[in-house]
């Protein structure tokens, strides 16, 4: 037997989160970022989710809202994947969110299973009983697997089989969508005009982070409601409590990460209340894809085209701020028909199926 070609098992170990990407101990982090970008390109066939190490780094810094575990997976001394486990610190949270991402070359050798044992150990040691995870399932001819919501499906591919083998069930399907920012925006303009008529009791207000003082309370309220008001099927989320300190921390993560964010909100003219919002997260390198993060219309204010109002105003302003950004990427629950209808009308098109998977452990 030629021992030179013998492959040892994988090493799955925590790594240092550096204070800067130039720090002497940043090597593992930089290798993790390269592997992350490679895996996302392999799965999606595109670089819409590419992020630089500088953009990602602030998202890895500790805070008081989530206990986070980060590990890398090495094979023969080479980084081939990464693992993350998030343990929210809200009240007596019993949920854990995790991901395992490996380069395609090493799939099917039991490495994912070895990493999953570590994930489940971390979650169980922390007393978490509801383990949840999301994955993009590339289009394939595999048979379809449908969630109990009855909306959408994922192919029963290698990734789905991995979850099923480890006791997970598919709870929800999200749609990843893209919008071509270099195309004709006349439909967006028209939808915006129609929405302004239907929503005449509301006005559009927009700001770039950091949020001006007058909008802080309203923005915090809407961020809290994002968890409770967006459709989440049987996925479990803790209620969140947002105050100015938490909002400023979120803003620092974005701004320190060499990105910025346009927030477009609808304000009720009579009460001054913020009732709907849309976030467009923009890289400083304007040739990269913009990410649409949260969009929500507070439940009391639905039915006035406020979703179309804030989304159309956001896209039109984005084109002025970052005219070279090629696309917007966004994710929505397949059962969220009102939101998907607005997106489709604006010109978003489906790009991938995202499975939301859950396992309840004793
Ligand atoms: C999903 C993912 C983590 C699975 O990792 P993996 O290392 O391929 O998984 P495993 O090898 O442990 O198990 C997969 C298959 O290999 C088989 N296998 C396990 N050990 C094996 C071994 N020693 N030799 C050959 N095959 C083996 C398993 O039986 C399983 O077979 P199945 O597909 O018929 O069920 C990996 O495909 C990946 O990173 N995908 C992209 C990111 C992603 O979707 N992550 C999902 C969680 S966020």
Tokens of 160: 């789905």
- Residue 227 reports pLDDT greater than 90: no
Same domain, 314 and 221: yes
Q: Which of 128, 157, 192 is the last residue of a domain?
A: 128
Residue finishing a domain among 128, 144, 160: 128
For residue 3, the model assigns a pLDDT of 33
Give the pLDDT band of residue 17 (cuts 50, 70, 90): very high
The whole-number pLDDT of residue 7 equals: 54
Structural domains of the chain, count: 2
Report d(CA 71, CA 135) in Å as an integer. 18
Q: Are residues 330 and 200 in the same domain?
A: yes
**5-19, 65-79, 146-160, 281-295: the lowest-pLDDT one:** 5-19
Assigned domain for 203 exists: yes
Regarding the beta carbon of 161 and ligand 1, being less than 6 Å apart is answered: yes
- Mean pLDDT value across residues 71-95: 96
Residue 88: what pLDDT?
A: 96
Domain of residue 41, residue span: 3-128
Task: Tell me the C-alpha to C-alpha distance, in Å, between residue 158 and each of 22, 99, 151.
Answer: 37, 15, 21
Considering the domain architecture, whether residues 183 and 307 belong to the same structural domain is answered as yes
Q: Report if residue 119 sits inside a domain.
A: yes
139's CB contacts (< 8 A; 6+ apart) are: 155, 352, 353
Residue 173 lies in a domain: no
- Residue 2 is predicted with a pLDDT of 31
Instruction: Give the Å distance between the CA of 114 and the centre of ligand 1.
Output: 9
Flag whether 167 is in a domain. Answer: no
> pLDDT, tens digit, for every residue of 261-272?
999 999 999 999
Determine which residue's CA is closest to atom 16 belonging to ligand 1.
Answer: 108
Residues 115 and 187 both lie in one domain: no
Residues 242 and 337 in one domain: yes
Are residues 228 and 326 located together in one domain of the fold?
A: yes
The answer, yes or no, to whether any atom of ligand 1 lies below 6 A from the CB of 355, is: no
Same domain for 112 and 253, yes or no, is no
Q: Is 321 found in the same domain as 193? A: yes
Compute the Cα dihedral for 322, 327, 333, 339 and give only its sign: positive
167 lines ligand 1 (CB under 6 A): no
Tell me, yes or no, whether 225 and 340 share the same domain.
yes
Q: Are residues 190 and 322 in the same domain?
A: yes
Q: What is the CATH number of the domain that holds 315?
A: 3.40.630.30
* Model confidence, pTM: 0.92
What distance in angstroms lies between residue 280's CA and the mean position of ligand 1's atoms? Answer: 34
Q: 329 C-alpha to center of ligand 1: Å?
A: 28
157 lines ligand 1 (CB under 6 A): no
Helix axes 244-256, 213-229, angle to 10 degrees: 90
Would residue 170 count as lying in a domain? no
CA of 167 to the centre of ligand 1 (A): 14
Ligand 1: distance of its center to the CA of 111 in Å? 7
Instruction: Kindly state whether residue 325 falls inside one of the protein's structural domains.
Output: yes
pLDDT > 90 in the chain, percent = 94
At which of 128, 158, 193 does a domain end? 128
CB atoms within 10 A of CB 8: 9
215 and 349 together in one domain? yes
Pairing of strands 130-137, 144-145: unpaired
Are residues 309 and 193 part of one domain? yes
**Residue whose CB lies within 8 A of the most ligand 1 atoms, among 112, 118, 140, 176, for a mutation test:** 112
Indicate the range of 3-7, 175-179, 249-253 predicted with least confidence.
Answer: 3-7
Does residue 172 lie within any of the structural domains? no
Residue 162 lies in a domain: no
pLDDT score recorded for residue 325: 96
pLDDT at residue 5 in the model: 38
pLDDT at position 151: 96
Q: Where are the alpha helices (DSSP H) in the chain?
A: 27-44, 53-56, 111-125, 158-165, 186-198, 213-229, 244-256, 306-321, 337-346
User: In this predicted structure, what is the pLDDT of residue 231?
Assistant: 87
Asked if residue 109 has its Cβ within 6 Å of ligand 1, the reply is yes
Residue located nearest, by CA, to atom 24 of ligand 1: 109
């Amino acid at each position: 037997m030629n021992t030179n070609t013998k492959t040892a098992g994988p090493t799955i170990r925590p790594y240092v989160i550096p204070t800067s990407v130039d720090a002497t101990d940043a090597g593992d982090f930089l290798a993790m970022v390269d592997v992350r970008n490679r895996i996302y390109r392999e799965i999606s066939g595109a670089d819409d989710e590419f992020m630089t190490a500088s953009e990602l780094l602030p998202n890895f810094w500790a805070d008081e809202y989530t206990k986070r575990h980060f590990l890398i997976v090495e094979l023969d001394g080479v980084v081939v994947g990464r693992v993350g486990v998030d343990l929210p610190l809200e009240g007596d949270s019993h949920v854990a969110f995790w991901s395992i991402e490996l380069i395609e070359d090493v799939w099917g050798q039991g490495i994912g299973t070895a990493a999953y044992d570590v994930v489940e150990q971390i979650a169980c040691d922390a007393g978490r009983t509801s383990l949840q995870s999301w994955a993009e399932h590339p289009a394939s001819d595999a048979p379809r697997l449908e969630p109990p919501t009855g909306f959408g499906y994922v192919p029963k591919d290698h990734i789905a089989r991995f979850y099923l083998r480890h006791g997970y069930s598919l709870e929800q399907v999200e749609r990843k969508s893209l919008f071509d920012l270099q195309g004709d925006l006349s439909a967006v303009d028209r939808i915006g005009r129609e929405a302004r008529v239907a929503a005449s009791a509301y006005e559009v207000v927009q700001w770039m982070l950091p949020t001006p003082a007058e909008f802080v309370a309203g923005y915090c309220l809407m961020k809290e409601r994002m968890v409770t008001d967006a459709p989440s099927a049987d996925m479990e989320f803790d209620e969140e409590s947002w105050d100015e300190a938490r909002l400023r921390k979120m803003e620092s993560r974005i701004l320190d990460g060499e990105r910025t964010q346009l927030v477009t909100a609808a304000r009720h003219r009579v009460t001054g209340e913020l009732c709907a919002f849309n976030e467009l997260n923009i890289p400083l390198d304007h040739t990269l894809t913009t990410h649409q993060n949260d969009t929500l219309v507070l439940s009391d204010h639905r039915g006035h085209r406020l979703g179309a109002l804030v989304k159309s105003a956001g896209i039109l302003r984005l084109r002025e701020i970052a005219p070279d950004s090629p696309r917007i990427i966004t994710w929505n629950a397949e059962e969220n028909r009102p939101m998907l209808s607005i997106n489709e009308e604006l010109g978003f098109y489906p790009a991938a199926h995202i499975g939301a998977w859950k396992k309840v452990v004793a």
